[in-house]
Amino acid sequence: MTETPLDAAHAAMEAAPDDDSARLRFYERLADSELVLMLSAEPVGRDINPEIFEIGDARFVLAFDLEERLSGFAGRAVPYAALSGRGLAGMLAGQGIGLALNIEVAPSAILLPPEALAWLRETLDHGPAEAEATPREISAPRGLPDTLLSALDTKLSTAAGLARKAYLAAVIYDDGSRGHLLAFSGTQPGAEGALARAMNEALVFSGLEAGALDVAFLPDNSPLLAELARHALRFDLPETERPGRIEPIAPGSDPDRPPKLR
């Protein structure tokens, strides 16, 4: 059986129930994953009608991270909608409905109550703040925990086609403040907001309560790029066959336009 990123994150969370970072990584994978949601009827535009199951006094929708897992559970052809975990959390916000994930068909089977989805939605809604500052000194990044570096690497691997490179460096700004800067080059027009939100999520889900990471988008002729190339940690973002496409493919990937319950 194919192991999915959700399977691996769930196993790590189950193996270390007291490890908050493992729990956060599971929820990050859930938000980033494309899920297939079991429906009771074919969708009509953005309006969908999920199958809702009652377990005790609670209600749950059923979603799976592979189409074959949905087929294995249902045992027949059923209508479904494909959407991201973040889109599903947004759709269910305030509905009092939980999520039954991969039930009976995968090791990552879990029941997530409405409170867990509300927490996920609230966490994802905490976007980055804008500020202006000019770097005065650039040096190699230092003192950053491995959890953050791993989270950044994972997030950047999902940003295919949105930019060419990212540089992570320690900086001293012109006002004397210090921090770490993640600068993108070759950014596709309009992709800045998506990249900034993704990097903010990497910081949040890494479990750094007081962490901060500045994000900048530099033109190819910026003199700062040469300094970053000499000192910074470089990430090469994956290419895509359609580099100009920046809109999310899966319905529900845009947290500002979640699907609607019918």
Q: What pLDDT, on the 0 to 100 scale, is given for residue 211? A: 56
Q: What pLDDT, on the 0 to 100 scale, is given for residue 93? A: 84
Q: What pLDDT, on the 0 to 100 scale, is given for residue 232? A: 94
Summarised one tens digit per residue, pLDDT across range 213-229 is: 889 999 989 999 999 99
Summarised one tens digit per residue, pLDDT across range 227-240 is: 999 999 999 999 87
Q: With left for phi above 0 and alpha for psi between -120 and 50, is residue 78 left, alpha or beta?
A: beta
Q: Is the pLDDT of residue 19 over 80?
A: yes
209 versus 248: the higher-pLDDT residue is 209
Summarised one tens digit per residue, pLDDT across range 22-64 is: 899 899 999 989 999 999 988 877 788 999 999 888 899 999 9
pTM: 0.73
Instruction: Tell me what the mean pLDDT of segment 80-89 comes to.
Output: 92
| CATH fold of 135-236 | GMP Synthetase; Chain A, domain 3 (3.30.300)
Q: What pLDDT, on the 0 to 100 scale, is given for residue 204? A: 82
137: which 2 tokens?
């000194």
Q: What pLDDT, on the 0 to 100 scale, is given for residue 123? A: 84
Residue-range domain boundaries for the chain: 5-125, 135-236
CATH 3.30.465.10 for the 5-125 domain, yes or no: no
Summarised one tens digit per residue, pLDDT across range 102-124 is: 999 999 999 999 999 999 998 88
